[in-house]
Amino acid sequence: MSVSQANHRFVAPAHPRVVPVPAFRDNYLWLVLPPEGGRAAVVVDPGDAAPIEAALDARGLTLAAILLTHHHPDHAGGVPRLVERFGCPVHGPRAESIRGVDHPLDDGDTGAVPAVGLAFEVLSVPGHTRGHIAYRCAPLDGDPRPVLFCGDTLFAAGCGRLFEGTAQQMHASLSRLAALPGDTLVYCAHEYTESNLRFARAVTPDDAQVAARVDEASRVRAAGTPTVPSTIAIEQATNPFLRWDDPGVAQAAARRLGRAPSSTVEVFATMRAWKDVFA
C-alpha cells in the first residue's frame, strides 16, 4: 500500500504487482509484474507499445503475455510491435477481429501465465463492443483480493459508452460484474473518475457517499495520483450505473423520462443516454 492511498475510502490500496503505465491522454495500460526474482511481466490492453517497452526496460523485464479486452486501437494498437520484439502470446476475445491474437477466448475460458503466477477466468461483458471480455484473476501472492481487468465496461464511478452493444447487454454485463466479491480490485482502462463523479452527483445530489468520493477524487488527482483501482463494493455504493435499484437513481431516471421507468434496464439506459450528453 502506498502512503498516498493509506487513508483513502474510495481508492483501494493497489496490488503491489499491478502497476499503471499511463498512455495517450487518460489511458492506463496495466502491467502485472512477476514475483520477486521473476524476469517476465504481463500487460493488459497495450494501446501503445512505447511506454510498455520503456517500463519493461526500466525493470529489466521481458514480456510473457498480452491480455486484450476488446479491439479499440487505444487498447490493442501496440500489439504488433510488442509481439515482434518479445514473441509473446496474445489472449483476446474470439468474437472480435484483432490482429495478433493467437489465443482467442470465450466466456468461461480459463488461462494462466505461469511466469507471473497469473491465473484468470474470462467473463463475456458485451455492451461497449460486441465481443468485450474481462479477466477475473485469482489472488496474487499473499493478497487475498481477486483482481478484475475490465477494460471499458466498468469504470470508477461510470461505465463505457454503448458503441456496438445495447443497453440490455451492458446492463447484464454490469450486473455480472456487480455480483463479484466486494473486495475485488477493479482495474479499468481510463482515468475518467472525476468526470464520472460529476455525473453521479448530478444524479443523486444528496448522496453523502457520492459527495465524499467527489471530494476525495479531486484531492487524489490534484496530487497526481491515479483514482484506480477501486473495488466492486466501492462501485456498488457510489456508481450510478450499478445502482439502478436505488430510489434516488430511479427517481432521477423518472425525471428524465417524465414517467416512472418500466424496468431496471430502462433506468440504466436512461442514465447512459443522459451521461452521453452530460457536460
**Omega of the bond leading into 229 within 30 degrees of 0 (cis):** yes
Catalytic one among 75, 91, 132, 171? Answer: 75
- Give the number of other CB atoms < 10 A from CB of residue 206: 8
152 is a catalytic site residue = yes
72 is a catalytic site residue = yes
DSSP state of 209: H
> Which cell is 258 given?
417524465
Catalytic one among 8, 15, 70, 171? Answer: 70
* Strand residue runs (E) in 94-142: 103-105, 110-113, 118-124, 133-137
70 is a catalytic site residue = yes
Catalytic one among 91, 132, 171, 190? Answer: 190
Contacts of residue 211, Cβ cutoff 8 Å, sequence gap at least 6: 201
71 is a catalytic site residue = no
Catalytic one among 15, 74, 91, 132? Answer: 74
Catalytic one among 15, 128, 132, 171? Answer: 128
Catalytic one among 8, 15, 71, 72? Answer: 72
75 is a catalytic site residue = yes
Catalytic one among 8, 45, 91, 152? Answer: 152
Of 212, 162, 221, 219, residue with least CA distance to 192: 221
CB 130 within 8 A of CB 96: yes
Residues noted as catalytic: 70, 72, 74-75, 128, 152, 190
